[in-house]
Amino acid sequence: MAVQASTADGRAIFTVTPDDTGWAVAFEGEMYDHSRDKQEALAAAHRRARACHDSGRAAQVTISGEVSFAPRADARRR
């Protein structure tokens, strides 16, 4: 699996992605914080991103296969 570890501007990218046991946080080609629950893996990714940010490096959390945070407006009306 190819996982983007950082952007051109040096931002660290933490990706919550499916793995053999459920979900994990991918960063720089390694898998961390394995969990059966996607939300637990997401929380772990946010903790890692916050620690990165606190040390002075910009960070971003993404979820593999997802492209937005909210459903489309027309989907909410149904």
Q: How far apart are CA 42 and CA 25, in angstroms?
A: 8
Nearest to 46 by CA among 74, 1, 12, 19: 12
The string of pLDDT tens digits covering residues 15-65 is: 999 998 899 999 999 999 999 999 999 999 999 999 999 999 999 999 987
Which residues face 32 on adjacent strands?
A: 25
Residue 72's pLDDT is 59
Contact 29, 18 (CB under 8 A): no
For the ranges 9-13, 45-49, 73-77, the lowest mean pLDDT is seen at 73-77
